[in-house]
Amino acid sequence: MQRLQFIKHSSLLLMGASTLFSCKQSDINETIITTEDNSCDSTPSDALGPYYIGDTDQINDINTAQMSGIKMLVTGGVYVDSTIKQKIENAKIEIWHADHQGTYHPQARGDTSDFEPEQINLRGTVVTNKNGLYAFNSIRPGLYNPRPRHIHFIISAPGYKRVVTQTYFKNDDSNSSERIEDNIDNCLIIDFSIDSDDLLTGNIDFFLQPEDAN
């Protein structure tokens, strides 16, 4: 399982959690994130699920409707290899998950053009910076019965195989429904922590294979 080490430039060290929660791409460029003990050579795939909406906006705060819930900051990187961690710049990461009550917005699938803008929430796309890093803000997803708490991702980059996957919350009570700790690779389980401002923070790295890999 990952052990997280966040090292920030002096300007970011002066930020409180409320400022960090509203992170911008410029903040991400100044953030160095390292992880250890990632057991996956490449990120395993998982089910797409029934509620994928394509062509979502590129935004860092995917809670555009400002729904209530525990604020969550997820950071990480996209790399070619889990050993040398060759960075992938401009990788696209699509994200979606349920609200705090377990409902998706919308509870449907399709393309953003099929819906009114106000119907789209807790969905978005981020792009890695020159260091292969990304970050996004949201709220902790609720339980979509009978699934454990999870976040959906699609990671893609030119020249690499696209990955559809899901990540889970370490030691979450809901994990027993699918025996997550027993059945899911460690590199898909996020070890979140919560600070004094009730901001939930976690790190997850993704590892892509070149298109010509076996």
Q: What is the pLDDT along the chain (214 residues), one digit of tens a residue?
A: 333 333 333 233 224 344 444 555 445 544 434 444 455 789 999 999 999 999 999 999 999 999 999 999 999 999 998 887 899 999 999 999 999 999 999 999 999 999 999 999 999 999 999 999 999 999 999 999 899 999 999 999 999 999 999 999 999 999 998 999 888 989 999 999 999 999 999 999 999 999 988 7
CA-CA distance, 140 to 148, in Å (whole number)? 12
Q: Where are the domains of the chain?
A: 3-207
- CATH number of the domain located at residue range(s) 3-207 in this protein: 2.60.130.10
R_g of the chain computed on alpha carbons: 16
Q: What pTM does this model have?
A: 0.85
